[in-house]
Homo-oligomer: A and B are copies of this chain.
C-alpha cells in the first residue's frame, strides 16, 4: 500500500468523525444578514483549525470577523491559501425544508442543512485534509493559510479592505476558491474565474404622484421613458449598444477553448457551473440565442458580457385593471462583465450613452461594482487541480475557464496577485440558497481526498 493509499484509507476509517465535525458546523447557525450566531460559528472554525494543530485566530473587521489559520510547511516554500466563508444565507422559506435547516440531518447518503454546501462543507473538508496530512506526516509539503470570512452572503462587505490591510499575512502562491460542484456525468466541476458585475438602478420620474390615466395625452409617462431608454441599450439581436461596451472583451485562448470543448462534448445532461441549456426548446424560437450551438452557447455563457433586466417596477402591479399614469418607473439591471472590462468604465459609458441619446433625465444609481477575474488555464495551480481530480475521481475534471456568475475574487488578484482555482464538495443538486440544501456524503469523502492530493501536487 502506497503512502497515499494508506492516507486515503485513514480518511475512510475516520469518515464518521469528519462527518460529525461538519454536522457540528451546520448546527451552528451563522446568518450574516440577520447577525445570528456569527461569533459562535467563527469560534467553532477557529477551534477546529486548532484541533488539527493549525494556528488559528479570529480577526475583527468593521463587520463580521475573519477566521485566519496558518501552518508552515517543509522548508517554508510555496504557500497555498484556502478562501472560504462561514456565514450562510437565511434558511427561508422554512416550510419548504423537509428537516430542520440547522440540524444537519442525514438521509439517503446526503447531509441536509443550510450552508452544508455553501460553504461549510468545503471549509471543513479542506481543514480536515490539511489536518490529516499534518497528523499522519508530521509536516506539510507547502505552507497553508485559511481565510474564512463571515460576510460572503452579504456581499463580502469588508473583504477587500481586509485583504488590502493584511497583504503580508495573506501572501501566497496559489489560491483555492470557495466552491465547486460535481456534474451529472460524474466529473468534478471546477472553474477558474468569475464575471465582474455592475448592478444599477435606472429611474424615471413622471408626475409627483400617480395620476388618472385620462391625463396620458398630455402628461409624459416615466414607464415609457424607461422603455425607450432601455431599447437603446440592447437590441433584439442581443447586442449591447453602449458605444465601446465590447472594446476590452477578450476572446478565449486556445487552451480555454479546449477546456470548453471538453466540457460540452463530454456532457450528458447538465454540465458543471452554469449550464448552457437549450433556449429553443425551453424558451421558444424568438431569441437569436435559440440558434446557437451548445459550444457557442457555452462560450457565450463564459466569455460573453450581459445586460440583464433584474426587475422593472412601475405603476399598478396588482391583479385586474387600474387605469393609472405612474409617477415613477424603476429598473434594476445587472451587467456581468468579462476580462478586461472595467465596471467603472462601463458605468461611465452607459451614463454617456443615455445622455447622448437624450435620456439625461433618467437617474442612474450604482448599487454594486465588482471586477471580473480569471486565472490563466495554463497556470500550474490548474494543472495540479486537474491531476488531483484525475487521481481521486478517476476521470478528468470539467474545467470552466470562468463562470456566468460573479464573486469577490478580485481583491485576491489586486492585492495578492493570487491565481485561484475552484473545486469543492457540492454537486449539481446541492441547491445552494434554496430549501433542502445538501451534499452527498460520497462527494464529501472524495472532496477531502481531493484537497489532500492537490496539496501534494503543488
Contact mask A317-348 → B, CB, 8 Å, 1/0?
10011111110010010101000000000000
Q: Do the beta carbons of A286 and B358 come within 8 Å of each other?
A: yes
Q: Is A396 an interface residue (CB 8 A)?
A: no
A304–B304 Cα gap in the complex (Å)? 45
Q: Do the beta carbons of A323 and B334 come within 8 Å of each other?
A: yes
Q: Do the beta carbons of B310 and A219 come within 8 Å of each other?
A: no
Contact mask A262-277 → B, CB, 8 Å, 1/0?
0000000000001111
Copy tally for this chain in the complex stands at 2
Q: Is A1 an interface residue (CB 8 A)?
A: no
Q: Is A312 an interface residue (CB 8 A)?
A: yes
Contact mask A217-233 → B, CB, 8 Å, 1/0?
11111011101101100
How many of chain A's residues have a CB under 8 angstroms from any CB in B? 80
A360–B285 Cα gap in the complex (Å)? 10
Q: Is A289 an interface residue (CB 8 A)?
A: yes
**Chain B nearest CB, measured from A300 CB (Å):** 5
Q: Do the beta carbons of A215 and B274 come within 8 Å of each other?
A: yes
In the complex where A274-B214, A289-B220, A403-B214 touch, is A311 in contact with B300 (Cβ < 8 A)? no
Q: Is A207 an interface residue (CB 8 A)?
A: yes
Of B286, B324, B336, the residue contacting A311 (CB under 8 A) is B324
Of B313, B329, B404, the residue contacting A215 (CB under 8 A) is B404
Residues of B near A312 (CB, < 8 A) are: 223, 227, 312-315, 329
Q: Do the beta carbons of B227 and A235 come within 8 Å of each other?
A: no
Contact mask A108-127 → B, CB, 8 Å, 1/0?
00000000000000000000
Q: Is A405 an interface residue (CB 8 A)?
A: yes
Q: Which of A262-304 contact B (CB under 8 A)?
A: 274-277, 279, 282-284, 286-287, 289-290, 292, 297, 300-302, 304
Q: Do the beta carbons of A214 and B406 come within 8 Å of each other?
A: yes
Q: Is A368 an interface residue (CB 8 A)?
A: yes
Residues of B near A10 (CB, < 8 A) are: none
Q: Which of A394-409 contact B (CB under 8 A)?
A: 403-406
A338–B260 Cα gap in the complex (Å)? 58
A277–B321 Cα gap in the complex (Å)? 26
Q: Do the beta carbons of B214 and A336 come within 8 Å of each other?
A: yes
**Chain B nearest CB, measured from A241 CB (Å):** 12
Residues of B near A305 (CB, < 8 A) are: 217
Q: Is A306 an interface residue (CB 8 A)?
A: yes
Residues of B near A207 (CB, < 8 A) are: 282-283
**Chain B nearest CB, measured from A199 CB (Å):** 5
In the complex where A206-B283, A332-B316 touch, is A308 in contact with B216 (Cβ < 8 A)? yes
